[in-house]
A and B are shown apart, each in its own frame.
Chain A
Amino acid sequence: MTIAALTKAWQPMSYGFLDPSAKRELRRKMLKAIAVPGCQMPYASREVPMARGWGTGGLQVTLTLLKPQSVVKVIDQGADDSVNAASIRSFLSKVSGAAETWDTLAATIIQSRHRIPEERLRADQVLVLQVPNPEPLRPVEPNMSIARQMHADADYGRLWLILYEQMVRAGRIMEGAAYPALVNGRHVMTPSPIPRWDVPKLHMAQHLTFLSAGREKRLYAVPPFTRVEPLVFSDVPYQVEDHGGLTCHRSGVTGYFMNEIPQDVGSVFELSDSHLGIKAIRLSQAEGGVEGAADQIGPTWYENGVMP
């Protein structure tokens, strides 16, 4: 009689790489984060087979949300085919059996770095953003315990002060990515380094957004239909990047956020949301009579370069 004969045969207790207790802890923190929109919840950031700073926070939230029936899309700066996005996506599918996709419309979970897809997300989709620095007050208050007190007091005067001084120095607000935004009228959050172009997409959105920082061990959420208002002066309107008039040199699409590709003379632009570009090219091919090239572009947040 051996011990092996007395015990049950090995079978997996869980899926999605994290063990059940880790997932439970994350789930509880995610629920808390939803309950207090924009408030940073500390969590025990686990080891994942990826270096800190490469999206470990987003990865842990995605792993917790995943089930074998999920369809995952991973975006890195708008692209689905970068090494980082491709390897995270294949890892997610390998550990959970979830299907992979590049299509925003088909995905149920979208993990993203730096961009929100141009196509509108639906109520049945979850967006997970990777965040390097979750603390909007860090530039003004290096001491994190005091920063937490300032959040508790809703003491955001100094964030406004930064904007004020940018206006004084440059005549306009210089904040590029990670523009601080007031969530649900209470907490100011850093909406991860998404461009200013993407911040209004979070306002009263249908989908649930998680923002998670693995190295800093904090996560926060924007639940569906929650106000997300960028900090602006009443007489200085919020401005998104001036990309509304640019045309993608590969797909010919106009009115979305573009990547600038410098050339010897001037520069050309290409759609930052790479799969939107692919779909646009397929659509125009289908119209030109190429078989099997048809694809569908869903409703987008921006129409003709402006947000309605």
Chain B
Amino acid sequence: MNAMLPPQLMTTPPLLTMTGLCRRYGRVTALDDVSAMVYPGEVLGIVGESGSGKSTLLRMMNLEDTPDSGDYRLALPDLPGNLFDLDRFARRMLCATRIGIVYQNPHQGLLMKHTSSGNVAERLLIAGERSFAALRARGRVALEASEFPLDRMDARPIELSGGMQQRVQLAKAIALEPALLLLDEPTTGLDVSVQALVLDTLKRLQRDRAITMVIVSHDLGVLRTMADRVMVMRHGRVVEQGLADQVFQDPQHEYTQSLVHAKL
């Protein structure tokens, strides 16, 4: 009887459920009937070539864009129904408090003219924190968790290196302990050693806090180290998905096969 139980992952309901997402930009189809599920504490990797729709999908997850059709639910208290139906204000609050995002380009996610600690503090301010001492303390905790050197917490991101900028973005994203952390090519553009350090930080965060993550990357190495489950996208469709090892060791779809072999 016990042997018949499904794997543990399947017994908990998914945190994120997206079904039937379609998005067209003019004549270009960015997403064509894409569905995705992410379970609590899991790391989902999305891989695909440029223009495969993976970034569009991530933008949808961060509610920055609305699809032509489709359904998006997060299994969080007081969030019933399709999240795309929320109004501007509710969307903004949801993104600020429950979803953290790290962009490939730090200019997109950070206020470059403000201090690093200020960037983290802004998140807390939006969520309603009004005590200066608490802002300072919570900013320090978040920066420490992303392994940012605290003696530079009041430097502006523009004065920092690329790896440090990504750490500030990460601190900003996790400051409010979000339910979902989205990473859009977090290590692209960093050199290999820095890339390894940032991935280390991410891995440790994931282990310590069991944050649910979605990582978009075209770098299979990143996904191999980070992801539990992988989704392969091409031309706005999901062509293959499964456990990371399974997909990388035994790719079924011919596109995935060429992808894996191109890497090797």
Is the A/B pair a real complex? yes
B 116-144 to A, binary, CB cutoff 8 A, 1 in contact else 0:
01100111011000111111100000000
In the bound complex, residues from chain A placing their C-beta under 8 Å from that of B125 are 157, 160-161, 164
Q: Cα distance A138–B130 when bound, in Å?
A: 22
B204 within 8 A of A: no
Q: Indicate if the CB atoms of B132 and A161 lie closer than 8 Å.
A: no
Q: Cα distance A39–B123 when bound, in Å?
A: 25
Q: Cα distance A167–B134 when bound, in Å?
A: 13
Residues facing B in A109-160 (CB within 8 A) are 153-155, 157-158, 160
Residues facing B in A161-199 (CB within 8 A) are 161, 164-165, 167-169
Q: Indicate if the CB atoms of A233 and B115 lie closer than 8 Å.
A: no
Cβ distance A278 to chain B, nearest Cβ, rounded Å: 42
Q: Indicate if the CB atoms of A165 and B133 lie closer than 8 Å.
A: no
Q: Indicate if the CB atoms of A164 and B135 lie closer than 8 Å.
A: yes
A233 touching B122 in the complex, CB below 8 Å, given contacts A161-B114, A165-B115: no
Q: Cα distance A234–B124 when bound, in Å?
A: 14
Q: Cα distance A236–B135 when bound, in Å?
A: 12
B37 within 8 A of A: no
Q: Indicate if the CB atoms of B117 and A234 lie closer than 8 Å.
A: no
B interface residue count range (under 10 / 10 to 19 / 20 to 34 / 35 or more): 20 to 34
In the bound complex, residues from chain A placing their C-beta under 8 Å from that of B130 are 160, 233-234
Q: Cα distance A235–B136 when bound, in Å?
A: 12
Q: Cα distance A1–B89 when bound, in Å?
A: 70
Q: Cα distance A96–B122 when bound, in Å?
A: 50
Q: Indicate if the CB atoms of B89 and A161 lie closer than 8 Å.
A: no
A155 touching B92 in the complex, CB below 8 Å, given contacts A161-B121, A161-B125: yes
B260 within 8 A of A: no
Q: Cα distance A204–B62 when bound, in Å?
A: 41
Q: Indicate if the CB atoms of B115 and A235 lie closer than 8 Å.
A: no
Q: Indicate if the CB atoms of B133 and A158 lie closer than 8 Å.
A: no
Q: Cα distance A168–B139 when bound, in Å?
A: 12
B154 within 8 A of A: yes
Q: Cα distance A160–B139 when bound, in Å?
A: 15
B111 within 8 A of A: yes
Q: Indicate if the CB atoms of B154 and A168 lie closer than 8 Å.
A: yes
Q: Cα distance A169–B132 when bound, in Å?
A: 13
Cβ distance A90 to chain B, nearest Cβ, rounded Å: 46
Q: Indicate if the CB atoms of B92 and A153 lie closer than 8 Å.
A: yes
Interface residues in chain A, defined as those with a beta carbon under 8 Å from any beta carbon in chain B: 153-155, 157-158, 160-161, 164-165, 167-169, 233-236
